[in-house]
Amino acid sequence: MHRNFLSRRDPRIQLEKYKPQYLLDFIDLYKNRDDCQRKANDFVRRCIKPAVEEYISRHLGTNIVDTILAGRHSAEYSSRNFFQYNIQKELLQKEDFQSFVKFICNYEIYVKNLIFQHILDEMSEDKALCKLKSQNLQVIVKKITDATERASKGEDGVLLPDNKESITVLIKNIRTFLTKDISLSEEAEKTALFQIQSTCHPFIKSLMKSLREMDEQLQEEFSKSEDITETVNKLPTKPQDELFNRVFGCGQQCPFCKVPCEAGGKKHIKHHAAVHRPQGLGRYRIKDTQKLTETMCTTDVHSEAKFSCADTNGEWHPYKEYSTIYPDWLIPPDYTREASDYWKYVLVKYNDSFAQEYNAKPADVPGAWRNITKEQALKGLKEAFNIK
């Protein structure tokens, strides 16, 4: 960073960088040639265009979020409950064990990948990304054009005097009118307008022409095929993160069963979830037998049972006093047995697979759990998230 800082301010490097432009400036000056259009083009290329591209990039992430929320996936993002229900329903229907493992063990990554796929699907259809960029371009170009027209007049509404000094006033006015939308580089401005020989009125006409050409050039660039993944990942506002926070909140998981926190936003005092899972799904096992734990943490926190893990330094700790180890979590008692049928069914169906994945032995699941059907599991899921 220090070397880059010095490099950007090294006089010799900067002179070499702008050598071709200084040469053209010198030739125009020597031959008394009108440099008006070239200077306007340089100003647009060095100052306006980078600011316009930054404006588009700054707004594109939010535009994508709005498009997703209004598109084919709008119902899924209507609430955290419905999104959570929908994603677990898809897991049940896919019947892919590794997807369950990814969802449980790498919850945030799994969900963001799913959301990212929704974004790719939506943005790939009918050149949606290109259209969003073009819409932003039209908005900012109109603002720049309007600002230039306003800047060309004084407070009395009369055109600025037609001399070189008025160009400085013009650019200052443009910068003032656009301060809420874009930021123009003063360094690039000084370089682009260095030794300008034109007067103000011809420069304004040339500037308007350059703006139209920039608009056409960017529209053409947007119309070409592009890597949507690369474009989205470079945005300052990541739409997948915005959507994730909107439907899931903080993304923290229960320390025992790995169920995600359902509280919205980042400012809640306690993490909580309506339905927890058998703890074996969160890698917990019985120390003596190395069998996956089949009990629910919502049951254990109101029992005499104890747990031991890295957070307790291997010491046994009462579940009842879990809050001394995990003060950020609130784990309520079971409110309905049917609500947890989904995860009981999952543990029964993939008991051996989870044991192999976690390098443990299969859980001793209660016999009643083996009678839970796929339909009952889905019904329990609907009850858990209050889906009609």
pLDDT tens digits, one per residue of 240-255: 988 988 887 677 889 9
Q: Looking at the structure, tell me whether residues 263 and 210 fall in a common domain.
A: no
In a domain, 103, yes or no: no
Residue 218's pLDDT is: 95
Count how many domains the chain has. 2
Residue 324's pLDDT is: 93
Residue 357's pLDDT is: 95
Q: Looking at the structure, tell me whether residues 199 and 308 fall in a common domain.
A: no
In a domain, 147, yes or no: yes
Q: Looking at the structure, tell me whether residues 152 and 56 fall in a common domain.
A: yes
Q: Looking at the structure, tell me whether residues 147 and 41 fall in a common domain.
A: yes
Q: Looking at the structure, tell me whether residues 210 and 283 fall in a common domain.
A: no
Residue 266's pLDDT is: 65
Q: Looking at the structure, tell me whether residues 155 and 193 fall in a common domain.
A: yes
Q: Looking at the structure, tell me whether residues 312 and 253 fall in a common domain.
A: yes
Residue 189's pLDDT is: 78
Q: Looking at the structure, tell me whether residues 182 and 34 fall in a common domain.
A: yes
In a domain, 41, yes or no: yes
Domain termination residue (choose one: 170, 205, 223)? 223
In a domain, 73, yes or no: no
Q: Looking at the structure, tell me whether residues 153 and 60 fall in a common domain.
A: yes
In a domain, 60, yes or no: yes
Phi, psi of 260 (to 5 degrees): -75, 150
Residue 75's pLDDT is: 84
In a domain, 120, yes or no: no
Angle at 358 between CA 357 and CA 361, to 5 degrees: 100
Cα dihedral value 119, 125, 129, 131, nearest 10: -140
Residue 338's pLDDT is: 62
Residue 225's pLDDT is: 74
Residue 20's pLDDT is: 74
Residue 123's pLDDT is: 92
Residue numbers of the domain that contains 215: 2-67+128-223
Q: Looking at the structure, tell me whether residues 183 and 298 fall in a common domain.
A: no
In a domain, 213, yes or no: yes
Q: Looking at the structure, tell me whether residues 132 and 38 fall in a common domain.
A: yes
Residue 17's pLDDT is: 76
Which residues in 327-363 are b (16+ Cβ under 10 Å) and which e? eebbbeeeeeebbbbbbbbbbbbbbeebbebbebbbb
Domain termination residue (choose one: 223, 239, 258)? 223
Residue 33's pLDDT is: 53
Domain termination residue (choose one: 188, 223, 258)? 223
Q: Looking at the structure, tell me whether residues 212 and 311 fall in a common domain.
A: no
In a domain, 93, yes or no: no
Low-confidence ranges of the chain (pLDDT < 50): none
